[in-house]
Structures are given as C-alpha cells and as structure tokens.
Structure 1
Amino acid sequence: MADASSRPLHVVILAAGQGTRMRSDLPKVLHPLAGRPLLRHVVDTALGLGPAAVHVVHGHGGDRVRSALADVPVTWVEQGEQLGTGHAVQQALPAIPDDASVLVLYGDVPLVRAETMTNLVAAAADGAAVLTTELADPGGYGRVIRDADGSVARIVEDKDATPDERAVRETNTGLMAAPAGRLRGWLARCGNDNVQGEYYLTDVVALARSDGEAVHAAVAADPEEVAGVNDRVQLQTAERAYQYRQAQELMRAGLGLVDAGRFDLRGSLAFGRDCSIDVGVVLEGRVVLGDGVSIGPYSVLRDTVVEDGATVDSHTIAEQAHIGAGAQVGPYARLRPGTELRAGARVGNFVETKKAVIGPGSKVNHLSYIGDAELGRDVNVGAGTITCNYDGSEKHRTVIEDGAFIGSDSQLVAPVRVGAGAFLGAGTTLTRDTEPESLTVTRAPQRSVPGWARRRRE
C-alpha cells in the first residue's frame, strides 16, 4: 500500500448548494469573508498544499461562481442535479486516477487550516478518514462513535442516537479523505433510501466498515475552524473568527493593535517596527506600513503605502495613495487614487485630493479640494481652496511651485501655474499663470455704503 504522501493529491471542493438561508441572489459560496468569496478561501488554502488538481463541483449560479474565480487554476465540474454530497463527489471522480488521494472540502467551510487538511490526508494513508471536532454543545450534530482501538465505528445522527451516544461530544465535520479507487467503489454502492432521497458522502464510513476496513479520524482542535456558513449570522461569526485569527498572527509578528476585536484586514499587510493601529481600522488590498506608523481610529486604507513615521488620524480614507515619511493626514481626510504626499507633507481635516502630488513640507490643512495638481516644497494652501481641474469634458493640471502661498477661498482654474514664492490673496479666482514672488488678487475692491442698513429697515 502506497503511503498517502507518495500518492498524487486531488482536492474536491463541494460548492453546488443554493444557500437558501442566506436569502440572497448571490450564490452562497460567493458571499465575502474578509473581502474574498468564501469559496476563494477554501481554494487558496487547498492550492497551498501543492495538489495535482483542485476540482470545484458547482451547481447553483455556476456561471457567476466560475467568473468570480476565473483567475485560479481549478477544474470546474457541474452537478446538474443536487442529489447529495456523495453524488457531488462522484461528478469529480472521472478525472481522478485510482492511485490518487482524494481530499473532500466544502466551499462554505472557509476557515480550515492547511495543517488540518494535511493531517486529514495523512490519516487516510490506508483507508478512509474523517475530520472530527469536539463541541461543548453537540446537539444536532452527527456523533462519532469510536472502537476500542480508536478507529471510527460509525457516525450516528443526533435524532437516531441513544442517550449514551448523545453524551459523546466528538462530532463529524463532513470533511473526508480516502484513496480514490476505493472511494469510487464505496460511492458506487451508496443508496438514497432516506427522507431526502440523496446520496450521502457519510455513508462511506459504514460501507468501509462493512468491507472490514478501518476508518480513521483526524481531529480539528478548534471548532471555529470547521464551522460552516449557512446564513448571515454564521457568516458574521466566521468573519470575526477570521479577523481575530489574523489579528493574533499580526500581533505576534510585532504589530500594535489597540483592540484585536475591532480590526479588519481584507487583503495583505506588510509593516515595520512599532506600528500602532487604533480601533475600527479597515485595511483592504495591499497595504504597506513603514516603521513607527500610527493609524487613527475608523480609518480605511486601500492599496496604500505609508512610510516611516507618518501619522494617519481618525476617519481618514486613503485609496491607491502614497504617504511619505513623517507626513500627517486627517482627521477626516480623503486621499483618492494617485495621491502622493512627500516627506513631511500635511493634509488636514475635510481635505480631498486626487492625482495630486503634495511636495515636501507642504500643507493643505482645511476644507480644500486638490485634484490633478502638483505642489512643490513648502507650499501653504489656505482653507476652502479648489483646483478647478475639470472643464466639463477634459481634466487639466495645476502646478504650484515651491514656497507659494495660496490664500483661503481661492479657485485655481486649470491649466494654470503659480510661480515659486508667489502669493494669491484670499478669494482669488486664478485663470492665468503668475510670476514667481508676485502677489495676485482678483476680488473686486471693497465698497461700503454708509447708512444703507438703517434706510432699508425704515
């Protein structure tokens, strides 16, 4: 008998269920967990085992499921009629050689670790193996009844269990591994003489035992790891479990989190030393933090780089942005795609930027919109300033050279350039380039009419 590790591994992922309890038009396995579909989590972990092939059995919403995972190297298998888990596995078996090991996973059980999958495959070295776990309250779950030698004697459904069997806390997760040739034979003998009229994968246990073969068990120590997602409550539970798992791994690697229970990573995070992340922060896509970075509460960073010593204050949103060393952002700032803050730059409260370079030491502190713009070194932009970058059909660029001062409530109508060291008076509407070191004021001269208010009242 070949050792399981020497046999090619084929993974079969069952993802054909309709998920009616989700009460959604979206196929259940496509509901997001940490920003990725449930099924994607299972596929990615399975691919990490280096299998010969991964076969995904789909049914409900098959076109959407295939489209959502079009970039992953899997074999798609359609289950035209949902006739049970045993029938689903049978649909994939024609593409699997008899000398392979088969690992059966579920597209709605997203938190299974690679180590657990490996242990289950190893347990199936000389026959079938099931994955079990112990529950504090096993009510409603099938109980795993073992022989004196520790092998699995049978799986008893809760409704069919005796009082002694109901006292057993070890339950069946539904995940299984077996040599492909024998699994093929057992499934061919499965019947559907049950209330649902379906062919159950769990019947393999009884069939193997009737052939005189042992059925082994691998145990998942953490019940959360093997919890299925059948409704939105369970989806939320899985989300928090996954996020907490990530948070613990990141903290062990040195990341400072104020509260691991209020942290969400929906992508990847690379970070340096002494980084601190406050509560309610959401990181999406690829986020990179340098040394000594501080992220304030309830901020969202998406595909963003934050360099050493930068501070992102509360309620800031940054997407496809680059925040330079020692820069300060927020609170309540929005950095849209293409924003680049150079070292020591400052973008303050209620400022929005887009495709903008804010030069070293430059400041845009309050209530401004800077879009399609390039600011040089040590530029000061006053409150209420707008770069008018869109003329109704095309975008145009604004350039503000080193040391310029832009007075509050100014409008810079692009394309336009402000020369180095130039000043714009408050309320200026700039439509032409300015000379360096010049003062430009476009507001009308102030005029006061004495007694006007009194006469109006009379």
Structure 2
Amino acid sequence: MNTSSQELSVIILSAGQGKRMFSATPKVLHKLAGKPILQHVIDTVLNLPTKKIYIVYGYEGQLLRKKIISNHSSLNWILQSNQNGTGHAIQKVMEKYEGANNDQILILYGDIPLISIKTLSRLLYFHTGFNISLLTAKIDSPYGYGRILRKDGLIVKIIEQDDVSENHKKIREINTGIMVVNKKKLNTWIHQINNNNAKKEFYLTDIVSIAHHSGHVINSMQSKNTFEIFGINNRLQLMHLERFYQKKQAKKLLLNGLSLADHRRFDLRGTLKHGKDIFIDVNVILEGNIIIGDRVKICNGCKLKNVTINNDVIIYPYSIIENTHLDSNSIIGPFAHIHSNSRISKNVNIGNFVEVKNTIFGKNSKAGHLSYLGDANIGKKVNIGAGAITCNFDGKNKNKTIINNDAFIGANSELIAPIIIGSGATVGAGTTVTKNINNGEKIISRIRQFSILKKNNS
C-alpha cells in the first residue's frame, strides 16, 4: 500500500459547543492569534494534497459556516445534530462520503489548532503499508487524554479519560486524536463500535481495539513538539496556547533580524513581511497583512492592521493605523489614528491626537496637533494647524475636501465640505470656510474682539 498513489480526504470534527468556554460562541470560533481556532486547522490542511475536506458541525452551525473562510472547492459541511460522540460523527460522514475504498482519511479536530503541516506530512509518510496510524505523544501530565495501551510493544486499545482505572493512570503515552485510516476499513470498523462506556457515547477510539482484534497492526508516530497537539477546552488553555504561538512567532522574527524589545509583550495576529533594522517596542499588536520596509521604528502601545510601511518611518507611542499606506520618512504620532484606506506620502508629519480617515496626504505636509481630516485630498507642503477639522458629513453624505499645494490652514479652522482650497491659499486661525478659496487667496472669518464693560454698581 502506497498512500502517495491514493486519494487523501480529511475529516475535521468540530461539532461540540465547548461548554467549558462558558460562551454562546462555538469553541472552534474563539480566536487564536486573531483567527478562529478552526480556521488554523483548515489553513494547515489546505497545504496537503486533499481531495475533499469534511467538517462535522453542530452547535451554531450557521454561524460556524459564516465565519470560516475557505476557497477550497471540495469543502463539505456535515451536520451532527445530536452530539453522540466522535464515532457517531464519523458515521455521519461515512453516510455522505464520496470516494474510493482505498482512499486514506486523515481525521483531525477543530480544537487542536497548532498541528503542523510537517507533522501531518510525516504521519502520512509513515502510514505507508498500514490501514490505521495514530499520532501519539508522551507527556508528564496525561490527565484529560485517552491513554495508549500496549502489549508486547503493540497498540491494542485506547482508554478514554473517563474510563481510566488506577492501573492505567501511570501510562504517559496519550492519544492526540489525530489518525489516518483506510476508508474501507474505517467504514467497517466505525459501525462495530458501541456506547458501553461511562459517557454513553460512541467513541472513535474504539476502532483501535476492533482493528487489533481483527488482526491489524496499529501503526503509530509520536509528535516531536507536544505543544502542537494540545487541544483547547477552556479559556485558560486558549490563553496558554496563545502565548506558545506568539513566542514561536517572535522567535522566528528575531532569528530573521527583526528586533523586539520583549517577545513576551508582542502579538502578531496575521502575516508580517519585513526588511532590515526594524525595532518594535513593547505591547505592539500587528493584525492582518503587514508589510514593513527598512529602518522602521514602532514605539510602545501601537496597533497596526493591514498596513504597508516604507523605509525610515517612525511611529510614536499609542498610535492606531489601519488599512493605510505610509511612505518613506514619515513621522506618525504619538496618539495618532490613521485609517480607512488613507495614503501618507513621503516626509509627512502626523502628530499628537490627529485622526486621518480616507485621506491622501501629499509630500512634506504636516498636521501636528489635535485635528480631524476625513475624506480629503491634501497636496504637497500643506500645513494643518492645531484644532483644524474637515466637516465632511452633512447628515447623509461624506463630502470631499481638497487642499492644494502650499496651503496654510490656521489653527481651529473648520472646512465645510465639499470645498476646494487653492494652491498657496491661507486660512486664518478660527475661520469657518464655507466657499472655495482661490489660489494664493488669504481669508479670515472671525468675530471682532471687543470688551464687555462691567456694570458699575456703585
């Protein structure tokens, strides 16, 4: 038997509610590194030469199907309306399975998110010549896992945690739940199991003793990295696995030349492509797709999501940047908020408490303090004074503000969109601008200052 000449299908068991999460959200939709737990498993499986992927779902099935992203044309959803155990779940799949008897079926779990493509590929390789192969592991604290029972070195049975006796508590080799089984054999064995156990469920693991008594050798391979086989049953385990995952990502980034002030206070919840000589301070969160050029400094407390940053950019503390492109030599923050498809050109300074939304910022322009700039096109060498805002929303529509090159917008100005500020124009401080301004024009709209005399009570 050679698995390389056969079709491979995958079953991912994800029907449980996860009561120990104490949540209305299905367990497999809770997020690890910003991505649903189940999504991690699917994304890994998509790196295998799979013919079909079957996902067994139950609790909040419509929400599950809505939240999971996959472009795989053969993703099949199988409903297990009554959760009567893992064996029952496989029975539901077998009722609708499309494939040949010599197909090999890889069985995974939606709550074991960090299983690696490397380990799965090894398991498939070592499955050659067998009808059933298990991924096992030896751990110091096996409580909660099924134990691998061997006789004369051969696997004869898996004992589930609820059925573990005193004699079996010393066993350290555990069942990860992950296995590869020949389709024809699986279809035979799965219909021979019963629910004569403490939980009155149909256990998939019972096929191991059935296979053994049928004269089959149960093949096994141990995982080299035990953290990747850990399942998630409660929020404490989710938190521990999150830190495992983040530590692994941080180590990889450090070895590739990116500097982190403290790997324990850094989170990557997506993908990161980076250049050289980058420094990231503590408590920085990166989400989505992040691209960073050379010599970039990101200070403490910043959050970036779907951002491209060119060379020699400095982002000062507690700035939030989302769906934005930052060009070279820009200085951002502290406490800046840039979002909604904004584009920041070279040598731009966006400073303290400035919000920029859906705006193009031209070269060498600056907004140093306390401004809101939304739905605007800002030209080159424009100065935006403190407190200046674009009034872009009229109650129904978001209107455009255009500020041309070399304009000067005085402090505390209000620009009522839609409006065009000409090149070289000057808007005096405290002005409310309601009409377009010509090139080079200087305008001011300000109430005359006068004294209010106090009444003489004498």
Scaled to the shorter chain, the TM-score interval is: over 0.9
How far apart are residue 393 of structure 1 and its match?
A: 2.3
Q: 1:58 aligns to what?
A: 57
Q: 1:287–1:248: structure 2 CA closer, same or farther, 3 Å change rule?
A: same
1:84 corresponding residue in structure 2: 85
**Given the two structures, how large is their TM-score scaled by the length of structure 2?**
0.93
* 1:121 lines up with 2:124 in the alignment: yes
Q: Secondary structure at the match of 2:10?
A: strand
The answer for the alignment partner of 1:388 in structure 2 is 391
How far the C-alpha of 1:457 sits from its partner, in A, is 8.1
Identity of aligned residues (%): 39
**How far apart are 1:70 and its partner, in Å?**
5.8
**SS of corresponding position for 2:176:** strand
Q: In the alignment, is the contact (CA less than 8 A) between 1:101 and 1:121 conserved in 2?
A: no
**In the TM superposition, what are the counterparts of 1:21-420 in structure 2 within 5 Å?**
21-69=20-68, 71-73=70-72, 74-93=75-94, 94-125=97-128, 126-148=130-152, 150-157=153-160, 165-420=168-423
Which secondary structure state, in structure 1, belongs to the residue aligned with residue 41 of structure 2?
helix
Show the counterpart of 2:16: 17
What CA deviation, in whole Å up to 9, does each residue of 1:256-312 have, x standing for no partner? 222222222222221111222222222222121111111122211111111111111
CA gap of 1:435–1:140, structure 2 versus 1, over 3 A, is closer
Could you report, residue by residue, the CA deviation over 1:394-433 in whole angstroms, capped at 9, with x for unpaired residues?
2222222222221111111222222222222211112222
CA contact (8 A) 2:298 2:316 kept: yes
Of the structure 1 ranges 355-364 and 151-160, higher mean CA displacement relative to structure 2 is found in: 151-160
Distance in 2, matches of 1:278 and 1:390, equals: 37
Rounded to whole Å, the distance in 2 between the matches of 1:418 and 1:140 is 68
| Conservation of the 8 A alpha-carbon contact between 2:163 and 2:198 | no
- Structure 1: distance between partners of 2:203 and 2:159: 13
Displacement, 1:160?
5.6
Q: Which ranges in structure 1 are unaligned for 5 or more consecutive residues?
A: none
Unaligned regions of 5+ residues in structure 2, if any? none
Aligned residues: 453
Deviation of the 1:250 alpha carbon: 2.4
Contact 2:37–2:111 (CA under 8 A) maintained in structure 1: yes
Mapped contact 2:311–2:329 kept (Cα < 8 A)? yes
Q: 1:456 to 1:401 in 2, by over 3 A?
A: farther
Letter in 2 for 1:395: K
Between the aligned partners of 1:457 and 1:212, the Cα distance in structure 2 is 113
Against the structure 1 CA distance between its residues 158 and 40, is the aligned structure 2 distance closer, same or farther, given a 3 Å change threshold? closer
Contact 2:162 2:198 in 1 (8 A): no
- 1:89-126 per-position Cα deviation (integer Å, ceiling 9, x unaligned): 12222334210111110011111001111222233321
Aligned-partner Cα distance in 1 for 2:134–2:415: 69
Q: Output the amino acid matched with 1:87.
A: H
Seen in structure 2, the aligned counterparts of structure 1 residues 456 and 214 have a Cα distance that, compared at 3 Å, is farther
Contact 1:124–1:179 (8 Å) recurs in 2: no
TM-superposed CA distance for 1:164, in Å, is 6.4
Shift of 1:49: 0.8
Q: 1:395 to 1:166 in 2, by over 3 A?
A: closer
**What is the alpha-carbon root mean square deviation over aligned residues?**
2.0
The 1-side partners of 2:239 and 2:99 are apart by 35
Farther-moved stretch of structure 1 (284-293 vs 427-436): 427-436
Amino acid across the alignment from 2:334: P
Distance in 2, matches of 1:34 and 1:270, equals: 17
Counterpart CA distance in 2 for 1:445 and 1:267 is 55
Contact 2:39 2:69 (8 Å CA) reproduced: no
Give the distance between the partners of 1:311 and 1:456, measured in 2 at CA: 58
Q: Distance in 2 between matches of 1:431 and 1:112?
A: 60
Deviation of the 1:82 alpha carbon: 1.7
Cα-to-partner distance string for 1:318-342 (whole Å, 9 max, x where unaligned): 1111111111111111112021110
Change (3 A) 1:372 1:12: same
Equivalent position amino acid for 2:81 in 1:
G
CA shift at 1:377, angstroms? 1.3
Does the 8 Å contact 1:15/1:57 carry over to 2?
yes
Aligned residues of 1:151 and 1:217 also touching (Cα < 8 A): no
